[in-house]
Structure 1
Amino acid sequence: MNAALDKKTFRSDLLAWYRASARALPWRAKPSLYKTVVSEFMLQQTQVKTALPYFERWIRELPGFDALATAPEARVLKLWEGLGYYSRARNLHKLALAITARPEPPRAPAAWLELPGVGPYTAAAITSISFGEPVACVDGNVVRILARLTADGTVFRDSSSAAKYFTPIANALVNKAAPGDHNQAMMELGATICTRQNPSCAICPVRSSCAGARTLSPEQFPRLAAKKTEEQSVCRIWFLSTKRDAVLLHRASPSARRLAGIFELPSPADIELDEKDLTTKNAKLVAEQKRSITRYRITEKFLALTPGAPLRRRIDARIKTSAGMLQWIALSDLDKITLSGPHRRIVQKHFA
């Protein structure tokens, strides 16, 4: 801990600012354990502005643990469609089943860590906000604040090692009189003031405590080793039935690490096509998009396939032997299934 840091002043300044300036977010209005849990799961790897409409729809459709626990998984995934990282939705569903099977929810962070999808950050957030447990949340926002607050120049291998390093400092700073508000204030500060680029130091409520601000270059903290990225290129096929009233989709295996049970437009490999099958005679490039998933930078090309009779027969044979992984979905039913968010947007923009 920086010897010059006055913990009492920092806590006081931070809390006063938060209570006067916090954003009006739906999980903060009439807060409940359920709202806190749902919001924390949604905010794992998702920005607030993206999560907002999903959260509001979710609470309307599944207003409590009981409603979520009794909902079919297909409905849960459909409500989550577009947020990505669908394991979060499945884990949230499992967590609701676990909570409703208990006489009362657990209160200690350690007990929450035993529940599906709950890591140290989520356990700290839930228990500090809902039960007043004096434990700090440490995510990328909090790491950034603490690295700047202390002007710590340590170079970290990754964000996980940085979070582990700063956790003792974060816990020493927790306002034990209001740990939930303290943690939310730290999140708020990182999201709105102490941002990764161009932090608003001039209006920061804790600037007087910040060694990084005194260096006049707070952006240099924290110091994380450069991530190695991997470029990938993928083709996707838009292929209609003979009557042009259904589209061929690929459904990921229930045991898949990503997108288990979720529909996507198929790749050439899914339907056993090779380069000669995708000549300009058969396939037309309709759209291209770039997106990132963890360390991967993915370029997707979307081709509209209009094959001749021999190729169509080959594809039909492949569908029959795919054990349900390839399915014809009626165009009128597209809105009823759970389609990966990026593919849903492509379909709506280019193929609807």
Structure 2
Amino acid sequence: MNNLLTKHILEDLSNRERFRQSLLEWYDENQRELPWRTDPSLYKTVISEFMLQQTRVSTVLPYFQKWIIKFPDFPSLAQAKEEDILKGWEGLGYYSRARNLHKLSQIISTQESIPHDVNFWKSLPGIGPYIAAAVTSISFNQKEAVCDGNVVRVLTRFFGNGEKFKDGAYAQKKLQPLAHVLMPDDRTGDYNQAFMELGATVCHRQSPLCTTCPVLKFCKCGQRGDAENFPVMEKKKKTVQEIDRLWIKSSNALLLQKGKMGNNRLAGIYELPLNTKLGPYIKGKFISLKKRTIGQVLYQESIYWGSISKTLELDEYSLEWVQWKDIEEITISGPHRKWIKEIIQSIESDHT
């Protein structure tokens, strides 16, 4: 443990019992009613933690409900076809999460008894220190501290830690020992959830609700009134990537590109064709510009009317004509399904 954390522990943790009590009392009264909490199970905890990676609770809720109906437990998920799993995950993005859940379920389903040890969980596909700590504390009451973006925000403000972190992952790794020292010996799952709940509902990134915070009296930044300035992160310049995609249709089908099977993160997922992976084509009239940010990259995706040669070998470029009636049945990358619906509506409105 570095000198900074040791200094914090010596100066500030004499109040940690009162801090824990205040936080847990607040959580007991104010926790959100979430489907993985109201009727908890190990399976629901695992699914929710995978879905909540880099995704808001409000976004996850409808997907979680549908998922539990379709795949109610580890055995049903283990036995499912990958294409059905990807379809169930459609719209959440980061499809490797769904594939890893499939592999994890196949492993868990073979266990006579499920280990409580955090190292076992870290060994499973798609599980790092955060999910391993969340699962083992919530489901097995193991003393394993979670340290996600919410926890980083609360800790840096609580201790007035002005250290500049190069990114969120580095901050989480650096503050993990401090998060662990703060943990109680019991109700570890509730405590971890309370910490994350505080960050999500009170200790916001911008405009934190300090006056209603249950642990304001322990918080240096809250007392000083400068909580919004923490944590301190190195500013990274966003890069811009421009992409052209084509809208190529017939009277009864739309031409889509399917991610090649294998290690490709979009394996089996359909998208509007990239002009760079299309072979000979004709780019026509501009339709729409779509912008989205992933990490530090701003993608500006221009969609044009297009056409291809009738003799083009579609398989060579992973292209498929998908019947309009089948569009809802296949797995399409979340933003692309939205774009397709918007373009169809736009075309129809132009003809009315």
TM-score range, shorter chain: over 0.9
Instruction: Give the superposition deviation at 1:273.
Output: 4.3
- Aligned letter for 1:132? N
1:203-237 CA-to-partner distances (Å, cap 9, x unmatched) read 00000110111221111111111123210111111
Question: Using the alignment, how far apart are the partners of 1:142 and 1:4 within structure 2?
Answer: 17
Q: Which residue of 1 aligns with 2:319?
A: 326
Shift of 1:321: 3.2
Give me the whole-angstrom Cα distance separating, in 1, the residues matched to 2:315 and 2:162: 59
Paired residue type of 2:191? H
User: How far did residue 150 of structure 1 move?
Assistant: 0.4
Partner of residue 172 from structure 1, selected from 181, 206, 209: 181
Deviations along 1:2-60, whole A, 9 cap, x unmatched? 51341001100000000100000110011000000000000011110000000000001
Q: Does 1:296 align with 2:303?
A: no
Distance 1:40 1:114, change over 3 A: same
- For the residues of structure 1 that align with 2:159 and 2:330, how far apart are their CA atoms? 49
Structure 2 counterpart of 1:107: 116
1:268: Cα distance to partner? 1.1
CA distance in 2, matches of 1:132, 1:273: 59
Q: Which residue of 1 aligns with 2:40?
A: 31
- Contact 1:234 / 1:299 at 8 angstroms: preserved in 2? yes
Instruction: State the one-letter code of the partner of 2:68.
Output: I
1: CA distance between counterparts of 2:331 and 2:89?
9
Distance 2:153 2:255 in 1: 45
Cα contact 1:271–1:318 (8 A) shared by 2? no
State how far apart, in whole Å, the 1-side matches of 2:183 and 2:12 are: 17
Which of 255, 258, 269 does residue 251 from structure 1 map onto?
Answer: 258
Q: Equivalent residues in 2 for 1:113-262 (5 A)?
A: 113-241=122-250, 244-262=251-269
| Deviation digits for residues 114-155 of structure 1 (CA, Å, limit 9, x no counterpart) | 000000000000000000001110011100100000001111
Do 1:240 and 1:247's aligned partners in 2 also have CA atoms closer than 8 Å? yes
SS state at 1:4 partner? helix
C-alpha separation in 2, matches of 1:272 and 1:228: 34
| Structure 2: unaligned runs, 5 residues or longer | 1-7, 346-352
2:330 aligned with 1:337:
yes
Residue 293 of structure 1 deviates from its aligned partner by 1.4
Query: Post-superposition shift, 1:328?
Result: 1.1
Cα–Cα, structure 1 residues 257 and 149, in superposed 2: closer, same or farther, change >3 Å?
Answer: farther
1:52-105 deviations in whole A, cap 9, x for unaligned? 000000001110001100110000000000100000000011100000011122
8 Å Cα contact 2:83/2:268 also seen in 1: no
**Would you identify which runs of 4 or more consecutive aligned residues in structure 1 move more than 4 Å?**
none
Structure 1 match to 2:344: 351
**What TM-score, normalized by structure 2, do the two folds share?**
0.92
Q: Which one of the candidate residues 5, 12, 24 is aligned to 1:4?
A: 12
Match of 1:312 in 2: 309
Aligned length: 336
For 2:322, give the aligned amino acid.
I
Q: CA deviation at 1:197?
A: 0.3
Map 1:273-288 to 2 at 5 A.
273=280, 277-278=282-283, 283-288=284-289
Residue 31 of structure 2 corresponds to residue 22 of structure 1? yes
Q: Which SS does the other structure have where 1:303 is aligned?
A: strand
Gaps of 5+ in 1: none
* AA matched with 1:312: S
Q: Which amino acid aligns with 1:290?
A: K
Q: Quick one: distance in 1 between partners of 2:315 and 2:59?
A: 39
Q: TM-score, normalised by structure 1?
A: 0.92
Instruction: Identify the residue that residue 348 of structure 2 maps to in structure 1.
Output: none
Q: Where does residue 60 of structure 1 map in the other structure?
A: 69
User: Residues 294 and 256 (structure 1 numbering): CA distance in 2 closer, same or farther, change over 3 Å?
Assistant: farther
Q: Residues 193 and 201 of structure 1 are in contact (CA less than 8 Å); yes or no, is this contact kept in structure 2? A: yes
| Structure 1 match to 2:349 | none
CA distance in 1, matches of 2:182, 2:12: 14
Contact map agreement 2:78 2:109 (CA 8 A) in 1: yes
Name the CA distance, whole Å, in 2 between partners of 1:186 and 1:138.
Answer: 9
